[in-house]
Amino acid sequence: MCGIVGYVGSRHAMPVLLEGLGRLEYRGYDSAGIALQRKGKFDLFKKAGRLDVLRGTLPKRNAATCGIGHTRWATHGEPSDLNAHPHVESSGAITIVHNGIVENAGALRDFLRERGHTFASETDTEVLAALIAEEFLLDTDLTASIRRAVSRVAGTYGIVVMHKDVPGLMVAARNGSPVVVGIGENEMFVASDIAAIAPFTRQIIYLEDGEIATLSAKHHEIQDFQATITNRPTSTIDVDTTLASKGDHEHFTLKEIIEQPDAIRRTLSGRLDERFKTAHFGGLNLDAKDLMAFKRIKILGCGSAYISGSIGASMIERLARIPTDAESAAEFRYRNPIIDPQTLYLAVSQSGETYDTLTAVQEIQRKGGTVLGIVNVVGSSIARQCGAGMYLHAGPEIAVVSTKTFACTLCAFALLALYIGRMRDVSPAEGAEVIRALNELPQQIQNLVERSDEFKQIAEKYAQYQRAYFIGRCEGFGLAREGALKLKEVSYIHAEAYPASELKHGPLALIDEQTPTFAIVPDDDLLAKNLSTLAEIKTRKGPVVAMGQSEVLATQVDDYIQVPGSHPLTDPILLLIPLQFIAYYTALARGCDVDQPRNLAKSVTVE
Q: Give me the active site residues, please.
A: 2, 602
Chain-centre distance of CA 558, in angstroms?
35
Query: In the complex, what is the shortest distance from the CB of residue 491 to ligand F6R, in angstroms, rounded to a whole number?
Result: 13
Piece in contact with ligand F6R (CB under 6 A), picked from 48-56, 202-210, 345-353, 418-426? 345-353
Query: In the complex, what is the shortest distance from the CB of residue 607 to ligand F6R, in angstroms, rounded to a whole number?
Result: 13
Position 94, amino acid: I
Residues 453 and 564: their CA atoms lie apart, in Å, by: 17
| Through-space distance between the first and last CA atoms of the chain, rounded to whole angstroms | 10
363 binds ligand F6R (CB under 6 A): no
DSSP SS3 for 301: strand
Residues 468 and 460: their CA atoms lie apart, in Å, by: 14
Nearer to ligand F6R, 485 or 547 (CB): 485
Query: In the complex, what is the shortest distance from the CB of residue 408 to ligand F6R, in angstroms, rounded to a whole number?
Result: 11
315 binds ligand F6R (CB under 6 A): no
Query: Which of residues 305, 313, 394, 537 is near ligand F6R by CB under 6 A?
Result: 305
Nearer to ligand F6R, 65 or 603 (CB): 603
Query: In the complex, what is the shortest distance from the CB of residue 605 to ligand F6R, in angstroms, rounded to a whole number?
Result: 9
The count of residues interacting with ligand F6R (CB under 6 A) is 15
Asked whether the bond before 341 is cis by omega within 30 degrees of 0, the reply is no
37 binds ligand F6R (CB under 6 A): no
Strands (E), 322-433: 324-328, 343-349, 370-375, 389-391
Query: Which of residues 267, 351, 370, 566 is near ligand F6R by CB under 6 A?
Result: 351
Query: In the complex, what is the shortest distance from the CB of residue 401 to ligand F6R, in angstroms, rounded to a whole number?
Result: 4
Nearer to ligand F6R, 306 or 419 (CB): 306
302 binds ligand F6R (CB under 6 A): yes
The secondary structure of residue 277, as a DSSP letter, is T
Per-residue mark of binding to ligand F6R, 393-412 (x: CB under 6 A): --------xx----------
Order of all β-strands in the sheet with 220-224: 87-88, 94-102, 155-163, 170-175, 211-215, 220-224
Nearer to ligand F6R, 45 or 406 (CB): 406
Question: Please, are residues 35 and 44 in contact by the beta-carbon 8 Å criterion?
Answer: yes
Contacts (CB under 6 A) with ligand F6R, residues 438-497: 485, 489
Piece in contact with ligand F6R (CB under 6 A), picked from 3-11, 301-309, 514-522, 570-578? 301-309
Query: Which of residues 357, 452, 491, 570 is near ligand F6R by CB under 6 A?
Result: 357
Per-residue mark of binding to ligand F6R, 124-163 (x: CB under 6 A): ----------------------------------------
Burial class (CB in 10 A: 0-12, 13-18, 19+), 138: exposed
Q: DSSP alpha helices (H): ranges in 503-595?
A: 527-539, 552-556, 571-589
Q: Minimal CA–CA distance to 164: which of 43, 336, 291?
A: 43
Chain-centre distance of CA 193, in angstroms?
12
Query: In the complex, what is the shortest distance from the CB of residue 305 to ligand F6R, in angstroms, rounded to a whole number?
Result: 4
Nearer to ligand F6R, 47 or 404 (CB): 404
Residues 375 and 416: their CA atoms lie apart, in Å, by: 14
Residues 96 and 118: their CA atoms lie apart, in Å, by: 16
Nearer to ligand F6R, 407 or 437 (CB): 407
Q: Minimal CA–CA distance to 570: which of 445, 455, 472, 391?
A: 445
**Rounded-to-10 torsion of CA 369, 375, 378, 381:** -50
Query: Which of residues 180, 576, 604, 606 is near ligand F6R by CB under 6 A?
Result: 604
Nearer to ligand F6R, 160 or 485 (CB): 485
Residues 283 and 416: their CA atoms lie apart, in Å, by: 12
Query: In the complex, what is the shortest distance from the CB of residue 198 to ligand F6R, in angstroms, rounded to a whole number?
Result: 18
DSSP SS3 for 147: helix
Residues 201 and 458: their CA atoms lie apart, in Å, by: 45
Contacts (CB under 6 A) with ligand F6R, residues 486-545: 489
Nearer to ligand F6R, 148 or 602 (CB): 602
| Residue 515 CA neighbour count, 13 Å, CB half | 19
Q: DSSP alpha helices (H): ranges in 247-323?
A: 252-258, 260-268, 288-293, 303-320
Nearer to ligand F6R, 222 or 383 (CB): 383
349 binds ligand F6R (CB under 6 A): yes
Query: Which of residues 33, 158, 182, 303 is near ligand F6R by CB under 6 A?
Result: 303
Among all residues, whose Cβ is closest to ligand F6R?
Answer: 303
Query: In the complex, what is the shortest distance from the CB of residue 375 to ligand F6R, in angstroms, rounded to a whole number?
Result: 8
Residues at the interface with ligand F6R (CB under 6 A): 302-305, 349-351, 354, 357, 401-402, 485, 489, 603-604
